[in-house]
Amino acid sequence: MPTVWKPSVTVAAVVERDGRFLLVEEHTADGVRINQPAGHLDPGESLLDAAARETLEETACRFTPTHLLGVYFWRAADDVTYARFAFTGEASAPEPGRALDDGIVRALWLTPAELRVRADEHRSPLVMRCIDDYLRGRRFPLDAIYTHPSVTT
């Protein structure tokens, strides 16, 4: 019987404020890397809920998605294929005293130029691609995504 291919579904939040983007530095097997607030879709949650949860856990900021930025596929060196659903939106100020997820060093705000010069620190090539698509004005309505109630109940 052939092996069933199952991409790993992830979400990411692209938040821009005054020309800077919300990012995180996180510990990985390859050292500290830069990424958007991002992570895996958990059982029983919608993509929008996952993006809000991951952003809160990694930055202590509440994220409200406003648009789908895009859907991105990438195969990592360990042969895992990721399907990333990236969203744009608004983020609150960090909640005082809220601990960040294990492995997150800190949240930071970088300009696209600052992020480009640190390309060797990016978690994946999707980090800059999402920023570039945002800067190009790419946006899709959130109602392009439908979650059947059976997923979240």
**Residue 4 binned pLDDT confidence (cut-offs 50, 70, 90):** confident
**Residue 42 binned pLDDT confidence (cut-offs 50, 70, 90):** very high
Query: pLDDT at position 3, please?
Result: 80
- Asked whether residue 137 is domain-assigned, the answer is yes
- Asked whether residue 84 is domain-assigned, the answer is yes
Share of residues in the chain with pLDDT > 70 (%) = 99
Write out pLDDT tens, residues 22-33.
999 999 999 999
- Assign residue 140 the CATH number of its domain: 3.90.79.10
Give mean pLDDT, residues 85-91.
Answer: 98
Residue 23: which domain range?
8-144
Write out pLDDT tens, residues 124-151.
999 999 999 999 999 999 999 999 999 9
CB 130 within 8 A of CB 72: yes
